[in-house]
């Protein structure tokens, strides 16, 4: 072991998909901070130069070559391992998802040359939100980078490390961690292995990553360092939480939801430090504390800490969606109910209260307390607020097509109110260059208890992956944070305590159509996240009639979920598969 | 060569995704027809027992085992090769996309046993509309079925045969046709090779399939038979056109858009026959002629024949979407313009004129000729028609939020009209249990010249993959077909000749905002189908300003295309990738 300290900077970058020049600048800036603070070398995240997931941009050959050239020409003072697509060597082959060694200085005479490709991804995930076999070709060679900043490194990319920990849904024909261990047994002495990741967030995902890194460090018998992307790209969120594990089980974890550098001292866990990104547009949500875990500590969060983390996740999602899409102003319908109150809290946190407009749109079925609660929330948050009653238009429409409406399915009558509100919200969005946000939650979307082209209208659904009871929990968190800041709690007590109602018919309550949300949420969670079928859920203690009703509504309303605008992914499983259009023609094969 | 004739029935099945029992019945019924007409054995299509594409159903282990069991227990009198998912032999492995030999009789003592798995797919496509590496594991073993109905068969599955013809976008590490040829050289004498396909349609796709089959027959030096799925599953259409090629280049092609059996006489191309499915719900669009191509004939269609075929494709798409989703009635906005007139023709062909309601919804900007043309089309088709003026609601809304509307982006004022119409159409859909269809075309969708939650509202977009000029061509075809049937041509002459207008502002014409459609369509086609960039298109003779405008609008309106309801895929390339949500955060990496 060298007498000098051996310091590696893990660059936790908030890459924007497609913004090659901007991403390069962020990487260069973070590498400079790492260098100034004593790092011999730095490690970026998976595909950091083009942002993850680049999807169909990868079908443009220019995009591959331009990303690769950008990665190789980074202007950095220490060697930096950068994730980038690598052009295929042969025609009609797919590119690789790889790593380039950038940086012109410090290349040791015996070490790897600057600009060399040092690794290509071996395990390409194609499940859940991942689609990598569509775009990339895998390799079967281990990534190794010799004498970089005086350090011998194994180099892996995200999924490469997950099979060894048993955390992939199916097995691959090779194991990169086992291969590196075999190299070690053959006499190739490595000081550490790094992993460039773009590992998406869901609640408590960090405990899986800790397992991955501890397993690899234990197998390899040297420190295992994982640099993870941070920020949001559409509905994929990356929490950062870059981390390092030592063979004895010690772990250091960087903050979530912040761009910056985790300075890792390979020989002294307690010397690890966090350097926050200092540029004005840097993502900076949540706290900047790093976590030190002894070998016996699991890293699992308490549920209260998980809810705080989900709150930050939801804020990050909308913040980055707006920043990366050039959206500066938001409009939403503010009904006085819990969903729109919490959505307003998120919107104000994302773009600032002065850029958010809430519109209350009472019909004859709306109660005064709803209007009061909406106004209370708007005032507490300091956002713009207006009232546009829809009663006259509602009546005009009823008198016009009343015959059709009253003779048919009663839902038609309810939906016209929601759609009139959609028109008003969208008119403000179009006229004032705002993005409309939809305020729905996962529980109601799962049941189709929402209106296509009505309350589902909008470019983003901040609460769309939260169950209803989680929305209540977030309300409490926003209230608590406000109190700590000396502000007025934004969600009124009556909003928190009144029975949920769509207010689309006289004295309507959600519970007239749905099970109580405490129960509904649990049934949905068992089915969606734990893939339990009706029999399993009945065995868990729910009535068969209720379970069948819930699951039937879930099937029948697939088309609505398809039309949902992006929602930050915060639960461990989205409906079916996030990216695939459901088949309307899908029969129930169990009939 | 045997003295008996050697007859194989290719079962061109209209499978419904997930309807295992229904699909099994259709296969059994077609096999019976094949048997009665002298076939020794029959060959179904890829995954015919569960329908293609099954997508996330494949993530349910029960679905795999139930499909497999259903395939093995088919009640058939001759041996039938059936496509089915095959459960993985080891835990944590993905299933295979394979073929089972069903049928209890005629198993020769030396031949393969009944219910044996005779092939697994070797090349798994994961590009464009295909996603197979997500769900399946590939094999590297050739599929061979010995002494089945007295015939020795090579067995391949769809993509397996495409690489040999150079028609895959990237290369795989193996080639199933070359492997079978190698078996032949090693002395395994095969009489023919079959291919079970679910090869989706686009215009003139059949000429690619002819090339695939001719290439394989030539390499293998025996007949190559391809059985293809027919019908629609969401926006994927399958034209059927099952075919056989002989080594000398002769080809016989089954009809498109019809369920049935192509009886193939291996020794006598001219003896091939078509047996149409005789059940009452069988898909039966277009003509039932089979095509005989000599070795010198290309099989490329004239453009007029291609347009006739596209017309049948669009009808098939909506017909099967409705049948398979249990939809019997349709509603649409009927404006008097070309798009809604042609959409009405398609709707009437799909569910019958008595089940289609068209609503004209004039605003103060609508012309009398529009109303007249709408009424003309409704009467010619014999569908229901009503008029619901939106002027009063339009005025109410303007007086309510006029300040916002007039001060801001003028598009807000136009959109409220389209969205009011959306409410009326959806109210009829909800009340009367009809599906609303959106009437937009590919050209306007590509430019964002349409309104989210307005004219884009609906469960299916029959013309969504047709360029505007193709919509005009379809109008002529529907008119011509009506004349041939002795009916009134449904699209009025004035609809065909007046300048296209959205009629959302005084004297508005589409050409005020867009290039003439003849030009726009060509620019879009060069970009979308031939993946040309701006420079290439300018070189092809278009002004740079126009090209940049068109491509900029195309980028900016990705979010609208994502919200488009399913549209039958009829052009060779959809926007970007059909199934992937575009990234709002996608920067222009060329900046």
pLDDT at B300: 74
Q: Which residue, chain included where needed, has tokens 């009472």?
A: A362
Parallel/antiparallel/unpaired status of strands A96-102 and A151-157: unpaired
Q: Alpha-carbon distance B419 to B407, whole Å?
A: 20
For B230-335, where are the E strands, in sequence order? 230-233, 236-239, 243-245, 251-253, 260-265, 273-276, 291-293, 330-333
Of the two residues A419 and B111, the one the predictor is more confident about is A419
DSSP symbols for B551-590:
HHHHHHTHHHHHHPPP----SS--SS-TTSPPPTT---TT
On the question of pLDDT at B91 being above 80, the answer is yes
A66 contact residues in B (CB cutoff 8 A): 589-590
B590 contact residues in A (CB cutoff 8 A): 62, 66
Which of A301-310, B463-472, B581-590 ranks highest by mean pLDDT? B463-472
Parallel/antiparallel/unpaired status of strands A80-86 and A41-43: parallel
On the question of pLDDT at B482 being above 90, the answer is yes
Q: Where are the alpha helices (DSSP H) in B408-528?
A: 411-432, 442-447, 468-484, 493-497, 510-513, 517-528
pLDDT at A235: 87
Residues A17, B583: C-beta atoms closer than 8 Å:
yes
Interface test with A, best of B51, B401, B427 (most A CBs within 10 A): B427
Of the two residues A499 and B586, the one the predictor is more confident about is A499
Which residues sit opposite B82 in a β-bridge?
Answer: B100
* A483-508 mean pLDDT: 94
pLDDT at B462: 97
Q: Alpha-carbon distance A509 to A555, whole Å?
A: 23
Token reading at B103: 């049928």
Are the beta carbons of A156 and A144 closer than 8 angstroms? no
> Which pLDDT band, with edges at 50, 70 and 90, does B1 fall under?
very low
Q: Alpha-carbon distance A55 to A136, whole Å?
A: 11
DSSP code, position B529: T
Token reading at B273: 């026959």
| Nearest C-alpha neighbor of B218 from the set B180, B245, B189, B247 | B247
Q: How many CB atoms lie within 10 A of CB A547?
A: 22
> Which pLDDT band, with edges at 50, 70 and 90, does B498 fall under?
very high
Percent of chain B with pLDDT over 90: 80
On the question of pLDDT at A74 being above 80, the answer is yes
Give phi and psi for A262, each to the nearest 5: -95, 110
**Catalytic-residue membership of B386:** no
Burial (CB count <10 Å: 0-12, 13-18, 19+), residue A30: buried
Choose among B412, B452, B580: nearest Cβ to A56: B580
On the question of pLDDT at B105 being above 60, the answer is no
Residues A420, B423: C-beta atoms closer than 8 Å:
yes
Of A118-122, A170-174, A251-255, the poorest mean pLDDT is in: A170-174
On the question of pLDDT at B112 being above 70, the answer is no
Of A373-387, A418-432, B398-412, the poorest mean pLDDT is in: B398-412
**List B72, B120, B121, B442, catalytic entry:** B121
pLDDT at A553: 93
Residues A22, B587: C-beta atoms closer than 8 Å:
yes
Interface test with B, best of A137, A327, A453 (most B CBs within 10 A): A453
pLDDT at A150: 84
Q: Which helix (H) or strand (E) holds B15?
A: none
pLDDT tens, A151-208? Answer: 999 999 999 999 999 999 999 999 999 999 999 999 989 999 999 999 999 999 999 9
Which residues sit opposite B331 in a β-bridge?
Answer: B357, B436
Are the beta carbons of B451 and B560 closer than 8 angstroms? no
* B516-544 mean pLDDT: 94
* B534-561 mean pLDDT: 93
**Catalytic-residue membership of B509:** no
* B204-227 mean pLDDT: 97
Q: Alpha-carbon distance B340 to B347, whole Å?
A: 10
A533 contact residues in B (CB cutoff 8 A): 62
Token reading at A169: 């849904």
Of A69-78, A391-400, B57-66, B101-110, the poorest mean pLDDT is in: B101-110
Interface test with B, best of A317, A424, A435, A586 (most B CBs within 10 A): A586
pLDDT at B581: 63
DSSP symbols for A149-178:
TTEEEEEEEGGGGTTTTT-SSS--S--HHH
> Which pLDDT band, with edges at 50, 70 and 90, does B81 fall under?
very high
On the question of pLDDT at A228 being above 60, the answer is yes
Q: Is the dihedral of CA B478, B479, B482, B487 positive or negative?
A: positive
pLDDT at A322: 95
On the question of pLDDT at B299 being above 90, the answer is no
- Tell me the C-alpha to C-alpha distance, in Å, between residue B111 and each of A173, A267, B106, B264: 33, 67, 10, 21
pLDDT at B113: 65
Are the beta carbons of A27 and A229 closer than 8 angstroms? no
On the question of pLDDT at B152 being above 60, the answer is yes
For A95-160, where are the E strands, in sequence order? 96-102, 117-120, 143-148, 151-157
pLDDT at A583: 73
> Which pLDDT band, with edges at 50, 70 and 90, does A111 fall under?
low
pLDDT at A487: 97
Q: Alpha-carbon distance A47 to A124, whole Å?
A: 13
pLDDT at A169: 92
B17 contact residues in A (CB cutoff 8 A): 583, 585-587
Name the residue in chain A with its Cα closest to that of B317: A585
pLDDT at B578: 44
- What does chain B come to in residues? 591
Percent of chain B with pLDDT over 70: 96
pLDDT tens, B331-379? Answer: 999 999 999 999 999 999 999 999 999 999 999 998 899 999 999 999 9
Q: How many CB atoms lie within 10 A of CB B375?
A: 17
Look over chain A and give the mean of its residue pLDDT values, rounded to a whole number. 93
Of A566-580, B272-286, B367-381, the poorest mean pLDDT is in: A566-580
Token reading at B367: 């012309």
pLDDT at B2: 47
pLDDT at B577: 52
On the question of pLDDT at A578 being above 80, the answer is no
Residue B245, by phi and psi: left (phi above 0), alpha (psi -120 to 50) or beta? beta
Name the residue in chain B with its Cα closest to that of A405: B431
Residue A157 to chain B, least CA–CA distance (Å): 19
On the question of pLDDT at B269 being above 90, the answer is yes
Residue B131 to chain A, least CA–CA distance (Å): 8
Percent of chain A with pLDDT over 90: 80
* B41-70 mean pLDDT: 95
* A539-546 mean pLDDT: 96
Residues A233, B585: C-beta atoms closer than 8 Å:
yes
pLDDT tens, A335-346? Answer: 999 999 999 999
pLDDT at B56: 86
Are the beta carbons of B216 and B184 closer than 8 angstroms? no
pLDDT at A3: 52
Parallel/antiparallel/unpaired status of strands B330-333 and B356-360: parallel
> Which pLDDT band, with edges at 50, 70 and 90, does B3 fall under?
low
pLDDT tens, B234-267? Answer: 889 999 999 999 999 999 999 999 999 999 999 9
B433 contact residues in A (CB cutoff 8 A): 408-409
Of the two residues A97 and B1, the one the predictor is more confident about is A97
Choose among A407, A457, A459: nearest Cβ to B431: A407
């Amino acid at each position: 072991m060298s007498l000098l300290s051996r310091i590696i900077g893990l660059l936790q970058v908030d890459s924007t998909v497609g913004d090659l020049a901007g991403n390069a600048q962020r990487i260069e800036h973070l590498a400079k901070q790492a260098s100034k603070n004593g790092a011999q070398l730095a490690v970026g995240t998976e595909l950091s130069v083009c942002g993850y997931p680049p999807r169909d941009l990868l079908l443009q050959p220019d995009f591959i070559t331009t990303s690769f050239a950008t990665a190789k020409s980074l202007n950095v003072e220490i060697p930096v391992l950068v994730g980038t697509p690598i052009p295929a060597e042969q025609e009609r082959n797919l590119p690789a998802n790889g790593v380039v060694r950038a940086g012109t200085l410090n290349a040791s005479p015996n070490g790897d040359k600057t600009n060399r490709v040092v690794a290509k991804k071996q395990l390409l995930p194609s499940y859940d939100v991942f689609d990598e076999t569509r775009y990339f070709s895998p390799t079967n060679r281990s990534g190794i980078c010799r004498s970089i900043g005086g350090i011998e490194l194994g180099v892996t990319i995200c999924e490469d490390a997950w099979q060894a920990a048993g955390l992939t849904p199916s097995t691959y024909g090779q194991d990169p961690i086992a291969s590196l261990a075999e190299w070690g047994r053959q006499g190739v002495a490595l000081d550490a292995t790094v992993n460039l990741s773009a590992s998406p967030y869901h609640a408590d995902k960090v405990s899986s990553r800790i397992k991955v890194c501890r397993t690899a460090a234990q197998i390899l018998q040297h420190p295992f360092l994982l640099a993870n992307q941070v920020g949001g790209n559409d509905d994929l969120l990356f929490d950062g939480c870059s981390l390092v594990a030592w063979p004895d089980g010690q772990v250091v974890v960087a903050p979530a939801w912040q761009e910056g550098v985790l300075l890792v001292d390979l020989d002294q866990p307690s010397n690890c430090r966090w350097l926050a990104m200092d540029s004005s547009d840097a993502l900076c949500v949540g706290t900047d504390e790093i976590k030190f875990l002894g070998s016996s500590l699991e890293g699992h969060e308490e549920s209260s800490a998980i809810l705080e983390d989900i709150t930050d996740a939801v804020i990050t999602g909308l913040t980055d969606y707006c920043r990366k899409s050039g959206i500066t102003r938001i409009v939403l319908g503010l009904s006085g109910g819990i969903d729109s109150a919490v959505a307003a809290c998120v919107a104000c946190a994302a773009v600032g209260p002065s850029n958010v407009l809430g519109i209350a749109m009472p019909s004859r079925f709306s109660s005064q307390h709803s209007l009061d609660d909406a106004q209370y929330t708007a005032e507490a948050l300091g956002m713009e607020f207006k009232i546009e009653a829809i009663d006259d238009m509602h009546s005009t429409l009823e008198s016009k097509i009343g015959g059709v409406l009253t003779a048919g399915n009663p839902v038609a009558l309810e939906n016209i109110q929601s759609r009139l509100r959609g028109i008003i919200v969208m008119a403000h969005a179009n006229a004032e260059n705002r993005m409309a946000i939809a305020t729905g939650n996962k529980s109601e979307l799962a049941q189709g208890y929402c209106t296509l082209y009505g309350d589902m209208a909008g470019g983003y659904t901040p609460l769309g992956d939260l169950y209803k009871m989680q929305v209540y929990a977030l309300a409490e968190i926003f209230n608590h944070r406000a109190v700590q800041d000396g502000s007025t709690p934004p969600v009124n007590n009556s909003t928190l305590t009144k029975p949920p109602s769509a207010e689309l018919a006289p004295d309507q309550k959600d519970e007239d159509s749905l099970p109580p949300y405490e129960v509904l949420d649990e049934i949905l969670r068992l089915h969606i996240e734990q893939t339990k079928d009706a029999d399993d859920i009945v065995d868990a203690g729910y009535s068969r009639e209720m379970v069948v009703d819930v699951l039937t509504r879930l099937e029948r309303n697939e088309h609505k979920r398809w039309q949902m605008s992006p929602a930050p992914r915060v639960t461990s499983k989205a409906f079916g598969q996030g990216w695939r259009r459901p088949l309307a023609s899908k029969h129930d094969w169990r009939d």
